[in-house]
Chains A and B, each alone.
Chain A
């Protein structure tokens, strides 16, 4: 018996529940820190992003009108699936430069975070909704609704727990999202799409792109059918660009500058609230 050759994985994008290559045909040669392995990662384009927004918009009505219980179970299911793929993510995190210990901690934290937000998905509404005691005979209540389609630039330094920490509260709140994966460590962000794909997450609810931040940040922040832009990072020029472009259609800009996503403090219902709107309804009381 001769030596068996490995089957190498093709890292692709995740758009509308499918795994296409970038329409642009471009790639980025990604090399691991030890220079032992290289991978051709898709260099996502403006058109890829626009296609993702269409997918996210199409998925929005269905996802936002699912029951909270259903969204909660799907988030839990993502956690289950990730748990089952530990070894794959261990390998990838270590290939991206993490120690065995760090990789294990990161996977644990990512799974726990999914379970954490699964639990919030049917509770934040009660925290952030209320009946208002107006001084007239009206029944007046305020409840939360998702902001809509969110474009999110995931943390560059934290490819699994960072991505999960951004994505989970956005979709727990009923939004749909287009995520730009870490440029430095793209591998497990893309593999995470495979987890999503087997977790009953409807097509288009989460879309994941790889590519250059510098190139895509403009498109993420200028698109007129995106309602909210989340940026993870502390580059002052990026932040300024995003906040300026947000003005085009009054996107809600959300900036997470220096959060350590391994830290339990950086999770909570207020992360969900960042991509929610409140709606107030009045109705007269009478015959």
Chain B
């Protein structure tokens, strides 16, 4: 006789058992030096700072604090590399190094993913399935360009710009490093890269991969620090180009700082994307799309669809389905494979989100939050909706960079286009409808660099990314992504 099977009770709530990814196989050094000229070197003033796990607030490692002297050393190393064999190397050979880096990242993908989730707070499902695969894909894509640049810009030859200073944010730490480094190397430039101070560990792990790949010394230098270190890179007279991803506020400071110096720059700045749902949209897919547009990566996404526009006739249905779906989102341990929403990246960011939500309520907005209980330790914020808000509310106009969605309704196409564009930003947008001609009309009318139709937050190395208006200038990814790293002659 078969054993009696446990009774299945379908009328109670089921819960997921915890399914944490193991951390046994990963190596985080207790102390990290700066990666300059192919070696790990002690910061010139001997100072280090802690990087913590935002889910537990426990210190993961100490990281070197690069001073202006260290920046200078890194720039000199990069300059030497540019003058040396690197930029004169046959493109095909240069490409091989980049291919090699892509392969090494694939080999170590699991280690990179776990460290990314520990250091930054993002769910392992995202770092494992989105971030790290895109990192290796990005290197792989640009590796192939290195010996084909004469086909990229008809009628023109290209030369490298020289030394690129690159400053990246904490929301997609290793992916942003790849977006910056891969096209710079493919075009024969050398790099000084500064990861964000809260998420330096995967970039430093990348430095180990670069050593393993035998990349010539100085071609890529990775130095850790905070705003001052970034400023020293921007101000360094021997840097030829700045590539920055971060806030619009800092982007504007960089524009002012490099004005009149002849330095080139690309800026990938803030956003406040309109995600537009028409009444003829596939409703359930749209609800899933909304969740992905604003709660992906805790809303720490510059292209997040943080303004939702729902056509009036379906607003009640969409909002009620959205609330139901929000209840099922699992918030907690980023290393748990079931987790949908991880930790907020830092205390500072959490405070900013709280400030905005309070402000939105004060301005008359109504909030709804998922009732999922948040862990005690660490930085967390529940998925949040704002209704009863309008164009003039600050939670509608300003980038919050958290899991907070501002919902407005509309009646006509012209109305929603006007509202969608009535903002200084222009990074991305979304449109949901079953009608093809409407997609083309809306995607053309929205003044933004990326438009997702019946999808949201998709990325690919061959697909250019970047903003209109105050969301920045220049593109990363695709053929367009080569342009910021070459002189056309």
Contact = CB atoms under 8 A, between A and B. Distances in A.
Interface in A93-148: 127, 130, 132-136, 138, 140, 142, 145, 147-148
Given A136-B458, A246-B255, A280 B473 contact: no
B439 interface: yes
Contacts of B31: none
Nearest to A273: B483
A282 B424 contact: no
Given A236-B260, A278-B449, A284-B454, A247 B252 contact: yes
Nearest to B153: A270
Interface of A is mostly: mixed
A281 B253 CA distance: 30
B446 to A, nearest CB: 9
B163 interface: no
Given A270-B488, A279-B451, A136 B259 contact: no
Nearest to A277: B468
B451 A280 contact: yes
A244 B256 contact: yes
Interface stretch (B70-78, B211-219, B459-467): B459-467
Contacts of B255: 243-244, 246-247, 250
A242 B255 CA distance: 11
A268 B154 CA distance: 11
A250 B248 contact: yes
B161 to A, nearest CB: 16
A142 B466 CA distance: 12
Contact of A142 (B455, B472, B480): B480
A221 B7 CA distance: 73
A240 interface: yes
B256 A279 contact: no
Contact of B455 (A244, A249, A279, A283): A283
A284 B137 CA distance: 20
Nearest to B459: A134
Chain A residues touching B, range: 35 or more
A240 B258 CA distance: 9
Contacts of A148: 447
A282 B252 contact: no
B478 A142 contact: yes
Contacts of B252: 247-248, 250
A54 interface: no
B137 A282 contact: no
A278 B448 CA distance: 9
Contact of B475 (A145, A241, A278, A281): A278
A148 B468 CA distance: 10
B460 A140 contact: yes
Interface residues of B, number: 47
Contacts of B469: 227, 249-250
B453 interface: yes
Contacts of A142: 463-464, 478, 480
A127 B466 CA distance: 19
Contacts of A283: 439, 453-455
B480 A278 contact: yes
Interface string A183-213: 0000000000000000000000000000000
Contact of B465 (A138, A250, A280): A280
A252 interface: yes
A132 B252 CA distance: 31
Nearest to B285: A284
Contacts of B466: 278
Interface in A231-287: 236-237, 239-244, 246-250, 252, 268-270, 277-284
A35 to B, nearest CB: 37
A244 B439 contact: no
Interface string B14-51: 00000000000000000000000000000000000000
A250 B269 contact: yes
B468 A243 contact: no
Nearest to B156: A270
B460 A136 contact: yes
Given A240-B259, A250-B470, A281 B443 contact: yes
B49 to A, nearest CB: 29
A282 B451 contact: yes
Nearest to B430: A282
A239 B248 CA distance: 22
B463 A280 contact: yes
Nearest to A279: B449
Contacts of B451: 279-282
Contacts of A147: 468
A282 B269 contact: no
Contact of A279 (B154, B267, B448): B448
A134 B439 contact: no
A282 B478 CA distance: 14
B462 A132 contact: yes
A197 B164 CA distance: 46
A145 B156 CA distance: 22
Given A135-B460, A243-B259, A130 B479 contact: yes
Contacts of B269: 250
Contact of B453 (A145, A239, A270, A282): A282
A243 B156 CA distance: 26
A101 B276 CA distance: 60
Interface in B431-455: 439, 443-444, 447-455
A248 B253 CA distance: 10
Contacts of A227: 469
A134 B155 contact: no
Interface of A: 127, 130, 132-136, 138, 140, 142, 145, 147-148, 227, 236-237, 239-244, 246-250, 252, 268-270, 277-284
Given A147-B468, A280-B478, A281-B451, 6 more contacts: A133-B462, A243-B258, A243-B260, A250-B252, A281-B450, A283-B439
25 contacts: A133-B462, A134-B458, A135-B137, A135-B460, A140-B463, A148-B447, A240-B260, A243-B255, A244-B255, A246-B255, A247-B253, A249-B424, A249-B469, A250-B267, A250-B473, A270-B156, A277-B449, A277-B468, A278-B466, A278-B480, A279-B444, A280-B450, A281-B451, A282-B450, A282-B451
4 tightest A-B contacts by CB?
A240-B260, A243-B259, A247-B255, A134-B460
